[in-house]
Structure 1
Amino acid sequence: MAAHARPDATDAGFTHHCLELLAALGRPQARRMFGGQGLFVEALMVGLIVGERLYLKADAAAQPEFAAAGAEPFGYDTRGGRRVLTSYWSAPDEAMDSPAAMQPWARLALASALRAAASKAAPSKPRARASAAQPAATGSAPVPGTRRRARPA
């Protein structure tokens, strides 16, 4: 589909078009969110439709490729007037023409989403913390709120 013939992103036709473009990844689904549509594959958010644009997930590893293709990050302004840039970058115009043209960009988005999910699932190191229930060392003052055992005579 040529760039000038694309339906508006608020149109269900544009969402359907984007889902067709991402079909090589699996079974993409769209859900309303952020005033637009979130695009998911295997429960991973790989894309976002806002306004008249498709944005794809791009982590630090994928962002240089998106930037080299002239893509831009999706951003929004907070109520306080601060600009926030997200990890979703606009799909290159030529990728919007066919599933074959979209495939390398969709794979980058899926890889970014998988890395993000893996980093969230990685267990954090348990923190060592002192327990108030541990007996105080011999010769030291008792810890407030704990009892010392009576020593047998």
Structure 2
Amino acid sequence: MHVVYPGSFDPLHNGHFDVIQRASRLFGKVTVAVLENPSKRNFWLFAPQERVEIIRQAIAAARLTNVEVDSFHGLLAEYMRRVNARVIVKGLRAVSDYETELQMAHLNRQYGNHPETLFIMAATRWSFVSSTMVKEIARYGGDVSKLVPPATAEALRAKLSTIGG
């Protein structure tokens, strides 16, 4: 079965990567779909193609042969129809995530090929990690190497050195 794990992944952290690895053990094909949203261009630290490349490097390092990375813009349900996938995988850290994701799951079922949403609970050791926190720590020169895959840590160092942290 082909599933899609969508998100902004700005940047990819160990919580995201844990969901990717666990989904890859459960399903025959996992597509990590990076959201492109031109209206939030100034919001992102990494451009969509940079995020795609970081995820590809992390997947290659882990030798996850049934995982691919793509990017999309527009409605997730339309993307699901385009790639012929019927299941959306989402990671949940807390009840607050569930409330938001539940609404999106119901909305997605109204469109496209009526995709189902499967929630994977975050591993306890990563349940406190968010991309926002990772970026904040990295901007202030903190060590995020225990929170992110090596590809992300390197990309953060390179990006923040060019924009002045």
Higher relative helix content: 2
Normalised to the residue count of structure 2, the TM-score between the two structures is 0.24
Higher relative strand content: 1
Q: Which has the higher contact order (CA 8 A, sep 6+)?
A: 2
Normalised to the residue count of structure 1, the TM-score between the two structures is 0.25
